[in-house]
C-alpha cells in the first residue's frame, strides 16, 4: 500500500522536475537572448552616435581620436566618395567588419561590429562615410556572457561545417555546441546529452552575430538513481519520512522568505532553490524569474543611462567645435529622440514674422509636403508653447491642430528659452491656453511626437527634453551672436557701409568672377572735397553727420548688387560689377549731382543749424581695361581721384593705362572709353 503511492510519486517528481527544468532553461535562454539583442543594439547606437559626432565636425581627425579615447568606439575610419580611406585611427579591429544595420547574413567570420554614417554636402551629394568599429573578440563574447548569465558561443559561419570563433564554454561544452549548432533553428531550444540547453540568438536584422546561448540543467545529477533508492528504502524509513515531512515542507518556505528579504534589500542575485514542482516550487521559480528580469531591466537602464551620457558628451563636443546651427540642431534632435524613445520630432525657431519655422525634422513620412513647415504663433500645441513659454505634453483623441502641424497621438513640447526668459516648472497636460503670453519671447520649440510603444510621455521625458532644449537654446543664441559679431567686424560703425577689410575680400572676389566669365568691374574712389574745413568750422560731430548723410546718398544711387565701402576718413569706394567705364561715369555724375545739389544740414559749435555745401571728387578705373588685378585697379582709381582733385575738385576722372600696363591718373571727363563686358552690357542706363 505504501510502495504504490511512493512509486507513483517518484515518477511524478521525475517528470515534473524534468519539465520544470526545461521550462526554466527556456525562460533563462529567452531572457539571455533579449539581453544579447539589447546589448548589441546599445553598442550599435553608441557606434552610430560616435560616427555622427565625427561626421558633424570639420576637424574629423581630432574628434575621431577623442571618440576613441572616450571609449565610444575602438576605431574610426573616414573614407571619401570613392571608398579611399582619408583618415583612420590606429590599431583598427581585424577584418571582416559587419554593419549593424545589415540584413541577416548567410554566415562568415565577424571581426568587428561597425556603424556607418554617410557624409553629404548641402546639395545631398555623397562625400564619403564615417565608420565606427568595435572588435568582436573573446572579451566582447565574455561581456555578453556576463550580461546574459549564460554561456555564449560566436560561430564562424552558420552552415555546415560549423566552427567556433569564440566561446565561454568549457572544452567539453564546445564539442556539444558544435554537434547541436547545425540543428538549431529560430527560437527552439535543444538539449544535449551532458545536460545543457542550447538556443540560437541570431543572426537577424539588427543583430548580425551568429550566437549560440547555453545554460546548464538545474536537474540534480543522478535523480533517477535517487528516486529508485527512495522507493527501495520507503518501506524501511516510512515512519522517519512521515516524521520529517513537516520539516521538509517548511524548509522551502524559509528559503523563499530569506530570498525575498534579500531581493527587497537590493540583492538581485538572490535565488531560491527549486526543490520540486509543487506550489512552493513554482512560487520559488516565479521569485527567481522576477529577480532575473529585474536585474535585466536594471542593466538595460544602466546601458540607456550610459548611452545618454555619451550623447550629451558628443553634443558638448559638437557645440564647442562648430557654429553650423543646422548640424547642432540635428544632433540635439536625434539625441532627444533616442533618450525619450519618441517616433518623430522637430525643432522650430521663431521667424522674423513671429511664427515658427521648422529648422530640423526627423522621423516623419510625408511632412512637410512642400517647403519648410510654418506654424503660426499661439496656434496649435507647438504655437501655444512658443506663445506662453510653458512646456506641455498630452494625448490627442482626435487631431485638432493646424494643417502645418504634424498629425500625432501623443506629444511633448518644450520652449527654447532665450537669455532671461523664464520657463514654467509645471507642464500643462493637454494643449496650453493660447491666449496667454510669455514674459519674454522664446527662441523656438523642441517638440517630440508619438512615443514608441503607444505610451504617453511622462515627467521623466519632460526633464530629459528640457536638458536638450537648454542646449538647443544656447546653440541658437551663440550662433546668432557669432553671426552678429561677424557682421560688425565687416561694417563701419558710423556709416553702416562695409569697411576696408571687406573691401579687399570683395574686390578679390569680383575680379576673379569677372575674369572667369569675361565681365568688367568698375571701381569708384570717392573723396569729400575740403572735408577738413567742415571739421574745423563746425566740429567733428558735424563732420560725422556729413559722412552719415553722404553714405546714405551713395546707397541711394547704386544698385543692390553694387557694394559701397568706407575706406577711412572721408574716403569711400564703390564696386560696380558687370559695369564698364561709361556706366561708371553715369554713376559718378549722379553721385556728384546728388551731393552738390543738396547741402547737408548740421549743427555747429554755436548750436546753430546750418546747411553745409559738400562736393565729391571721383576717380574711375575698370578691370581689365586699366589694371590686371584687384589692388592695381584700386590704385588706378586712386590715381584718377588725384587727377580729379588736381582738376579743381567736384568732378570725376577715368584712369588710363600706360603702355607697360601701369595705371596713370591723366583721365578723361567728357568722354569715357571701353565697351561693356561681354554679352552683359552695363546696367546703368540713361533712364536710371
pLDDT along the chain (688 residues), means of 10: 67 78 85 88 89 86 87 89 87 86 66 87 86 90 87 75 79 74 75 81 79 81 68 68 65 81 82 79 84 81 69 64 76 84 86 77 66 65 81 69 67 79 57 49 83 79 82 78 72 86 90 92 95 88 91 92 91 94 94 92 73 93 92 94 94 77 44 32 36
Give strand pairing partners of 211.
154, 201
pLDDT score, position 439: 45
Domain interval for residue 334: 323-484
Helix residue ranges, H only, 364-441: 380-388
How many domains does the chain fold into?
Answer: 3
256 within domain boundaries = yes
640 within domain boundaries = yes
Spatial neighbors of 481 by CB under 8 A, at least 6 apart, are none
CATH, residue 507: 3.30.70.270
- Do 605 and 649 reside in the same domain of the chain? yes
pLDDT score, position 584: 94
Query: Concatenated DSSP letters for 465-509?
Result: HHHHHHHHHHHHHHHHHHHHHHHHHTB-TTT-SB-HHHHHHHHHH
pLDDT score, position 323: 67
The CA distances from residue 93 to 75, 76, 88, 168, in Å, are 7, 10, 11, 21
683 within domain boundaries = no
Copy the grid coordinates of residue 314.
558628443
- Do 203 and 119 reside in the same domain of the chain? yes
- Do 397 and 426 reside in the same domain of the chain? yes
- Do 648 and 615 reside in the same domain of the chain? yes
13 within domain boundaries = yes
- Do 233 and 335 reside in the same domain of the chain? no
- Do 371 and 454 reside in the same domain of the chain? yes
674 within domain boundaries = no
442 within domain boundaries = yes
Domain end marker among 442, 458, 484? 484
Identify each DSSP E strand in 579-667 by its residue range: 600-603, 609-612, 616-623, 652-654, 656-657, 663-664
pLDDT score, position 367: 59
557 class by beta-carbon count within 10 Å (0-12 exposed, 13-18 middle, 19+ buried): buried
pLDDT score, position 64: 87
- Do 519 and 434 reside in the same domain of the chain? no
Q: How far apart are CA 639 and CA 617, in angstroms?
A: 12
Copy the grid coordinates of residue 289.
524569474
Phi, then psi, of 552 in degrees rounded to 5: -65, -40
Longest dimension (CA), the chain: 141
Q: Which long-range contacts (CB under 8 A, 24 or more apart) does 504-509 make?
A: 504/630, 506/563, 506/565, 506/575, 507/575, 507/630, 507/631, 507/633, 507/634, 508/630
270 within domain boundaries = yes
Rg (CA), the chain: 40
Give strand pairing partners of 167.
153
- Do 154 and 55 reside in the same domain of the chain? yes
pLDDT score, position 388: 83
- Do 470 and 508 reside in the same domain of the chain? no
pLDDT score, position 438: 42
Domain end marker among 416, 451, 484? 484
Angle at 488 between CA 549 and CA 629, to 5 degrees: 80
- Do 126 and 225 reside in the same domain of the chain? yes
Residue with cell 574716403: 571
Four-CA torsion 493, 497, 502, 508, nearest 10 degrees: -170
Chain centroid to CA 534: how far?
A: 57
Residue with cell 547606437: 45
133 within domain boundaries = yes
Chain centroid to CA 506: how far?
A: 34
pTM above 0.75, yes or no: no
Contact 119, 107 (CB under 8 A): no
- Do 23 and 133 reside in the same domain of the chain? yes
Query: Concatenated DSSP letters for 258-309?
Result: HHHHHHHTT-TT-------SSHHHHHHHHHHHHHHHHHHHHHHHHHHHHHHH
Active site includes 628?
A: no
Contact 677, 518 (CB under 8 A): yes
Query: Annotated catalytic residue: which of 510, 557, 570, 639?
Result: 570
Q: Can you state the angle between helices 60-69 and 279-321, rounded to 10 degrees?
A: 150
Nearest to 544 by CA among 494, 594, 607: 494
Domain end marker among 450, 484, 518? 484
CATH, residue 379: 3.30.450.40
pLDDT score, position 563: 92
SS3 letters across 90-132: CCCCCCCEEECCCCCCCCCCCCEEEEEEEEECCCCCEEEEEEE
Contact 495, 568 (CB under 8 A): no
Angle at 331 between CA 325 and CA 336, to 5 degrees: 125
- Do 513 and 479 reside in the same domain of the chain? no
Copy the grid coordinates of residue 140.
566582447
Amino acid at each position: 500500500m505504501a510502495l504504490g503511492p511512493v512509486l507513483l510519486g517518484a515518477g511524478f517528481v521525475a517528470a515534473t522536475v524534468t519539465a520544470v527544468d526545461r521550462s526554466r532553461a527556456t525562460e533563462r535562454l529567452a531572457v539571455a537572448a533579449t539581453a544579447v539583442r539589447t546589448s548589441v543594439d546599445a553598442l550599435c547606437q553608441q557606434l552610430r552616435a560616435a560616427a555622427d559626432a565625427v561626421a558633424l565636425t570639420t576637424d574629423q581627425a581630432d574628434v575621431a581620436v577623442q571618440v576613441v579615447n572616450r571609449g565610444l568606439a575602438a576605431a574610426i575610419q573616414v573614407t571619401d566618395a570613392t571608398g579611399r580611406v582619408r583618415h583612420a585611427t590606429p590599431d583598427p579591429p581585424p577584418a571582416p567588419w559587419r554593419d549593424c544595420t545589415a540584413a541577416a547574413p548567410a554566415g562568415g567570420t565577424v571581426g568587428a561590429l561597425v556603424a556607418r554614417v554617410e557624409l553629404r554636402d548641402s546639395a545631398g551629394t555623397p562625400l564619403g562615410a564615417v565608420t565606427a568599429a568595435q572588435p568582436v573578440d573573446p572579451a566582447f563574447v565574455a561581456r555578453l556572457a556576463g550580461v546574459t548569465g549564460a554561456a555564449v558561443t560566436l560561430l564562424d559561419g552558420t552552415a555546415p561545417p560549423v566552427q567556433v570563433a569564440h566561446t565561454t564554454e568549457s572544452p567539453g561544452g564546445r564539442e556539444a555546441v558544435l554537434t547541436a549548432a547545425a540543428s538549431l533553428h529560430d527560437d527552439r531550444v535543444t538539449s544535449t546529452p551532458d545536460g545543457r540547453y542550447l538556443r540560437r540568438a541570431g543572426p537577424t536584422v539588427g543583430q548580425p552575430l551568429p550566437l549560440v546561448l547555453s545554460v546548464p540543467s538545474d536537474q540534480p545529477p543522478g535523480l533517477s538513481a535517487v528516486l529508485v533508492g527512495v522507493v527501495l528504502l520507503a518501506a524501511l524509513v516510512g515512519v522517519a519520512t512521515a516524521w520529517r515531512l513537516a520539516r521538509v515542507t517548511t524548509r522551502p518556505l524559509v528559503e523563499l522568505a530569506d530570498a525575498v528579504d534579500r531581493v527587497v534589500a537590493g540583492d538581485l542575485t538572490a535565488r531560491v532553490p527549486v526543490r520540486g514542482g509543487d506550489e512552493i516550487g513554482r512560487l520559488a521559480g516565479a521569485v527567481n524569474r522576477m529577480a532575473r528580469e529585474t536585474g535585466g531591466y536594471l542593466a538595460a537602464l544602466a546601458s540607456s543611462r550610459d548611452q545618454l551620457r555619451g550623447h550629451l558628451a558628443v553634443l558638448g563636443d559638437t557645440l564647442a567645435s562648430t557654429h553650423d546651427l543646422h548640424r547642432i540642431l540635428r544632433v540635439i534632435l536625434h539625441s532627444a529622440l533616442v533618450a525619450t524613445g519618441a517616433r518623430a520630432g522637430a525643432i522650430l525657431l521663431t521667424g522674423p514674422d513671429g511664427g515658427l519655422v521648422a529648422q530640423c525634422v526627423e522621423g516623419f513620412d510625408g511632412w512637410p509636403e512642400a517647403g519648410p513647415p510654418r506654424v503660426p504663433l499661439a496656434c496649435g500645441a507647438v504655437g501655444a508653447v512658443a506663445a506662453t513659454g510653458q512646456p506641455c505634453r498630452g494625448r490627442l483623441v482626435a487631431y485638432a491642430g493646424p494643417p502645418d502641424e504634424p498629425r500625432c497621438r501623443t506629444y511633448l513640447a518644450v520652449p527654447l528659452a532665450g537669455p532671461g526668459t523664464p520657463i514654467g516648472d509645471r507642464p500643462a497636460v493637454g494643449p496650453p491656453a493660447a491666449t496667454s503670453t510669455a514674459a519674454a519671447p522664446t527662441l523656438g520649440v523642441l517638440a517630440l511626437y508619438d512615443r514608441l510603444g503607444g505610451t504617453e510621455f511622462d515627467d521623466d521625458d519632460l526633464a530629459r527634453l528640457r536638458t536638450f532644449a537648454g542646449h538647443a537654446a544656447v546653440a541658437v543664441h551663440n550662433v546668432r551672436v557669432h553671426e552678429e559679431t561677424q557682421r560688425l567686424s565687416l561694417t563701419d560703425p558710423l556709416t553702416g557701409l562695409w569697411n576696408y577689410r571687406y573691401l579687399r575680400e570683395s574686390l578679390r572676389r569680383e575680379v576673379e568672377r569677372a575674369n572667369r566669365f569675361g565681365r568688367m568691374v568698375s571701381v569708384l574712389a570717392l573723396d569729400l572735397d575740403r572735408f577738413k574745413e567742415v571739421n574745423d568750422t563746425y566740429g567733428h560731430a558735424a563732420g560725422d553727420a556729413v559722412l552719415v548723410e553722404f553714405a546714405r546718398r551713395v546707397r541711394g544711387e547704386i544698385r543692390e548688387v553694387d557694394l559701397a565701402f568706407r575706406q577711412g576718413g572721408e574716403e569711400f569706394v564703390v564696386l560696380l560689377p558687370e559695369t564698364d567705364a561709361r556706366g561708371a561715369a553715369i554713376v559718378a555724375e549722379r553721385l556728384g549731382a546728388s551731393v552738390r545739389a543738396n547741402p547737408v544740414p548740421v549743427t555747429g559749435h554755436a548750436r546753430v543749424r546750418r546747411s553745409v555745401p559738400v562736393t565729391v571728387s571721383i576717380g574711375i578705373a575698370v578691370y581689365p581695361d586699366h589694371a590686371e588685378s584687384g589692388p592695381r585697379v584700386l590704385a588706378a582709381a586712386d590715381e584718377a581721384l588725384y587727377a580729379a582733385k588736381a582738376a579743381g575738385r567736384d568732378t570725376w576722372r577715368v584712369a588710363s593705362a600706360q603702355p607697360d600696363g601701369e595705371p596713370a591718373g591723366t583721365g578723361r571727363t567728357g568722354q569715357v572709353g571701353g565697351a561693356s563686358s561681354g554679352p552683359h552690357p552695363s546696367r546703368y542706363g540713361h533712364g536710371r
